[in-house]
Structure 1
Amino acid sequence: MKEVSFIRQNIEKWKEVEKIVEQAEQTDPDRLATTYTDITSDLSFSQSHYPTSRITIYLNNLAFALHNSIYKSKKEKRSRIITFWTKEIPLVMLNSRKELFYSFLIFAISVFVGVVSTMNDDTFIRLILGDGYVDMTLNNIRNGAPMAVYSGAPEVSMFLGITLNNIGVSLYTFVMGLFTGFGSGYLLFKNGVMLGAFQAFFFQQGLLGESMLAIWIHGTLEISAIIVAGAAGLTLGNSWLFPGTYSRKVAFMKGAKRGLKIVIGTLPIFVVAGFLESFITRHTHLPDFIRLGIILLSLIFVLYYYLYLPKTLRYELPEKKD
């Protein structure tokens, strides 16, 4: 890259860093740390390609000033725990909106594959869900309790088991990003096919509406969180696969940090989803408007938190905030 192109590409960001240094005492510590990582990466690039240039001296001075600002601003603000959930996570999602879209797209396609395969092959559902589960469900349907699987265990133990399992799936999906986006994409595809096959199976039994009113009480949050975890994995995988102007190591560290924040953001959602599945879903006698209301409220929350809120905060931090 020519020096003039390098300067044009980053000059606005460097001007913003100068403002951050001037206002360091009022700046969030995480923002300072991320900005420092960003500017030192640019400095490293400049030292390698333009070692005698004035821009290298400028970046070195800027990094030095920012380094001093960080050590003067170590003390965390008491409001950090609040801003983490209300600002940091939404802003990270804003920067990972492409990964979120691709994660959703992979999942949607896999659901379609699961539906089509189940509708055209009677043995497919058993291949995906297993003979034991299918036979148990068919027996529950004959006994007039198609959703009995959700009332087969004590609420508390079911809540703990489901929540820990879902969190494990989320972390695994993220970690699989180490094997590029294909690792996380595979897990998304696998879970999507299972969901599609499951819903198609109940459609074949004439119970699609009842199954959706039950399953999506917890599934709206649970499935959304899995898709978000998939976005975290894709963020991790793309970071070192497509490092851009950063070194592969720096790009990986930035992607890992961003992806980890995304995953942490799903944990409370999995807890709430586990609670709903263990304590609410089993009550199939609840009026349909109550069950539908829970589903709609969950959907509104997901759309607000992961799509609308990030857009409202998009101008509060520099574009490359991680």
Structure 2
Amino acid sequence: MREAAFIKQNSAKWKSFENQDFLDPDLLADRFIQLTDDLSFARTFYPDSDNTLYLNALAARVHQAIYKNNRTRRNRFGQFWRYELPFLFWQHQKQLIFAFIIFTAGAAIGVLSAAFDDTFVRLILGDGYVNQTIANIKKGDPMAIYKQDGQTEMFLFITLNNIKVAFFAFVYGIFFSVGTFWILLSNGIMLGAFQYFFYKQGLLLPSVLTVWIHGTLEISAIVIAGCAGFVLGNSILFPKTYSRLDSFKRASRQGLKITVGLVPIFITAGFLESFVTRHTEMPLALSCFIILASLFFILLYFIYYPQALHAKNTHAQLSS
């Protein structure tokens, strides 16, 4: 793009940034992201231009406005969760939808494969797990595998393992998104085979009411980590107006923020699996409440809230 066209296309937006008093923190965060994107583009294609210097100064002004009243670590922490992370999910909602589709397709493959091949479940879940679960079913306690001793050790192991899976789902995006695709697909297949195994045993509902107490958060977080991986991989495949290196650096920062943002969810899921899921005798209403509350949180924070922030900022921009 010629510099004159770039300036013509964005000058009105920059002027509105320059004249804005930055009273709305939602609008401020969104505009800072837009400015840094434009600045990166200008630095790549017009490094010696006066317009690049202008954008740098304008971005510095907005950056100062963001942090002048947020100098403490506590406020920076809140800013990340309230604005920065949700805006990233709005920017990358297509990658999130794609990650969900891939995982769901994997689950469907797992169900169909287990239905047509009696050996598939053992291949995916392992003979040890299947044999132990069948033995537990005969004893009248099919979910006994979640009642192991050493709850604290179980919590630490599960949480760290889930964080590792999420990190790999993100980092493997560097292989042109193929690595992330495979992790989502394979985990989906595992889930589908797992649920069909209990269905075949006539225990689908008890398994759902037990496993999804922690699985709602755990599975959702893995899908979201897949979104981060696709952000990383797509930055190499489709750099748009950026150089591939700049696109990769930008996506690495964004994807890492998304992945780090999942850590509290994995901690909560690990706690539920280690200390709550084992109580299979809990009332049906309580199990349903935990599952539905977890689902509500995921939909609210990762889907609805980012869209609401964007809509609010769009309205503010039109009004300014």
Q: TM-score range by the shorter chain?
A: 0.7 to 0.9
Q: What stretches of structure 2 of length at least 5 have no aligned partner? A: 315-320
Q: Does 1:121 align with 2:113?
A: no
User: Any conservation in 2 of the 1:17–1:35 contact (CA below 8 Å)?
Assistant: no
1:60 to 53, 60, 69: 53
190-199 or 2-11, which moves further after superposition? 2-11
In structure 1, distance between residues paired with 2:65 and 2:294: 42
Aligned pairs for 1:84-233 within 5 A: 84-233=80-229
Change (3 A) 1:70 1:212: closer
Q: Does 1:313 align with 2:313?
A: no
Aligned pairs for 1:13-32 within 5 A: 13-19=13-19
3-12 or 194-203, which moves further after superposition? 3-12
Query: 1:109-143 CA distances to partner (integer Å, 9 max, x unpaired)?
Result: 00000000001100000110111111111111111
The answer for the alignment partner of 1:77 in structure 2 is: 71
In structure 2, distance between residues paired with 1:146 and 1:203: 12
SS in 2 for 1:313: helix
Tell me the CA shift for residue 161 of structure 1.
0.6
User: Any conservation in 1 of the 2:18–2:58 contact (CA below 8 Å)?
Assistant: no
Letter in 1 for 2:51: Y
In structure 1, distance between residues paired with 2:313 and 2:257: 16
Q: Does 1:277 align with 2:273?
A: yes
The answer for the alignment partner of 2:318 in structure 1 is: none
Query: 1:138-193 CA distances to partner (integer Å, 9 max, x unpaired)?
Result: 11111111101101232111111100110111111110111121111110001000
SS in 2 for 1:215: helix
Tell me the CA shift for residue 264 of structure 1.
1.3
Q: Does 1:244 align with 2:240?
A: yes
The two structures have a TM-score, normalised by structure 2, of: 0.88
User: Any conservation in 2 of the 1:171–1:263 contact (CA below 8 Å)?
Assistant: yes
Letter in 2 for 1:210: P
The answer for the alignment partner of 1:43 in structure 2 is: 42
In structure 2, distance between residues paired with 1:84 and 1:8: 32
Q: What stretches of structure 1 of length at least 5 have no aligned partner? A: none
User: Any conservation in 1 of the 2:26–2:83 contact (CA below 8 Å)?
Assistant: no
In structure 1, distance between residues paired with 2:162 and 2:16: 40
Letter in 1 for 2:37: D
User: Any conservation in 2 of the 1:18–1:62 contact (CA below 8 Å)?
Assistant: no
In structure 2, distance between residues paired with 1:138 and 1:19: 69
38-47 or 160-169, which moves further after superposition? 38-47
The two structures have a TM-score, normalised by structure 1, of: 0.87
In structure 2, distance between residues paired with 1:65 and 1:121: 62
User: Any conservation in 1 of the 2:107–2:192 contact (CA below 8 Å)?
Assistant: yes
In structure 1, distance between residues paired with 2:12 and 2:245: 24
User: Any conservation in 2 of the 1:107–1:188 contact (CA below 8 Å)?
Assistant: yes
In structure 2, distance between residues paired with 1:37 and 1:311: 21
Tell me the CA shift for residue 256 of structure 1.
1.0
User: Any conservation in 1 of the 2:104–2:188 contact (CA below 8 Å)?
Assistant: yes
